[in-house]
């Protein structure tokens, strides 16, 4: 049988030295396992350094995507979010091994990883595409910030409520005072949006969820719109508002700023063993009966 992947990147929770030391054994077992199968193994440089992995190729996160045709990410969902955005231009599929808390994106268990990886390497896998959203901040008629989010774009205040106006495709929807608002991909609906009372959207849906956070008017409810929509959030009043992408990048907002959110052109490809079922994952992660 033809080997589907000739060169594979191994990336741990690359920004956390302590976490990498704690998963050192798992990372080493995985890298050696791949190498024994005559696969060219590349280790992200911080992963190699702090997990003390020697005898393998090393590269920075910025360059490793150009050297491989698959990336295996070990950590939590936050690590997967960061790696997915960093490698988006390389269009390589990602496999996630969970060493975090929930593991909605990193769905393989560390104790089962070698067998699961073997099934993937034997062409027994399924692949799915997940949409991203792009958010631009307009101030004084100029774009001052632009970025991608895999989970969500969040606008929040600090100690005070913010006041915002929401438009969709140029049509006014409402004004509201709230702690904030979440613009979520289907992937992100099992993250912060879920905690804020938003719906769970299946990852295959072409939609963006708009979820208020503690709205002052209780009639403000979450809604979902087609992913082709252009959503504009205007900051009417904010003293300490801020915008974040996947909770990993933040910038301060000012009254009068406009945040434009729409579907990004590029997608993330996630690869799962052939027996993977999204609903099984939900049932296990959310403790459904």
Residue 218's alpha-carbon distances to 161, 174, 177, 248, 287, in angstroms, are 14, 13, 10, 29, 28
Cβ atoms of residues 183 and 193 within 8 Å: no
DSSP 100-111: SSS-SS--EEGG
Annotated domain spans of the chain: 7-123, 133-265
Q: How far is CA 177 from the centre of its chain?
A: 28
pLDDT digits (tens, 9 = 90+) for 100-138: 777 888 888 888 899 999 999 999 999 999 999 999 999
The residues near 140 (Cβ < 8 Å, ≥ 6 apart) are none
The residue count of the chain comes to 289
Choosing from 26, 29, 69, 77, which is the catalytic residue? 77
What pLDDT is attached to residue 158? 83
Indicate the pLDDT class of residue 2, thresholds 50, 70 and 90: low
77 is catalytic: yes
CATH class, range 133-265: mainly beta
Antiparallel, parallel or unpaired: β 258-273 and 249-252: unpaired
Cβ atoms of residues 164 and 181 within 8 Å: yes
Is the CATH number of domain 7-123 3.40.50.10330? yes
Identify the H or E element spanning 162. strand 162-168
What pLDDT is attached to residue 240? 87
Start-to-end CA distance of the chain, whole Å, equals 40
Per-residue pLDDT averaged across 44-64, rounded?
A: 95
Long-range contacts of 119-124 (CB under 8 A, 24+ apart): 119/273, 119/274, 120/4, 120/5, 120/95, 120/271, 120/273, 121/3, 121/4, 121/5, 121/37, 121/39, 122/1, 123/1, 123/2, 123/4, 124/273, 124/274
pLDDT digits (tens, 9 = 90+) for 26-36: 999 999 999 99
1 pLDDT above the threshold of 70? no
Indicate the pLDDT class of residue 217, thresholds 50, 70 and 90: confident
Residue with tokens 């992913």: 227
Q: Is the fold of 7-123 the same as that of 133-265?
A: no
SS3 state at 206: coil
**Dist CA 188 CA 154 (whole Å):** 11
């Amino acid at each position: 049988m033809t080997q589907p992947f000739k060169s594979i990147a191994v990336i741990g929770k690359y920004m956390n030295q302590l976490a990498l030391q704690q998963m050192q054994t798992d990372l080493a077992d995985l890298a050696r396992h791949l190498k024994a199968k005559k696969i060219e193994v590349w280790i992200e440089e911080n992963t190699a350094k702090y997990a003390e992995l020697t005898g393998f190729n090393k590269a920075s996160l910025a360059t490793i995507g150009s050297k491989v045709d698959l990336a295996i990410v070990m950590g939590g969902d936050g690590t997967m979010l960061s790696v997915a955005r960093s490698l988006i231009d390389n269009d390589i599929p990602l496999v996630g091994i969970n060493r975090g808390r929930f593991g909605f994106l990193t769905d393989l268990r560390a104790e089962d990883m070698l067998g699961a990886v073997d099934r993937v390497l034997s062409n027994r896998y399924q692949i799915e595409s997940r949409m991203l959203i792009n958010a631009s901040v307009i101030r004084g008629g100029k774009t001052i910030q632009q970025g991608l989010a895999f989970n969500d774009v969040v606008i929040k205040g600090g100690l005070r409520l913010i006041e915002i106006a929401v438009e969709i495709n140029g049509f006014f929807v409402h004004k509201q005072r709230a702690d904030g608002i979440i613009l979520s991909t289907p992937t992100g609906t099992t993250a912060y949006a879920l905690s804020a009372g938003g719906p769970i959207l299946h990852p295959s849906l072409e939609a963006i969820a708009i979820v208020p956070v503690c709205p002052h008017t209780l009639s403000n409810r979450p809604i979902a719109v087609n992913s082709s929509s252009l959503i504009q959030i205007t900051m009417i009043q904010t003293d300490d508002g801020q915008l974040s992408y996947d909770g990993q990048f933040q910038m301060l907002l000012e009254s009068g700023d406009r945040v434009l959110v729409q579907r990004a052109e590029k997608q993330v490809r996630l690869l799962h063993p052939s027996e993977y079922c999204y609903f099984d994952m939900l049932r296990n992660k959310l403790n459904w009966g």
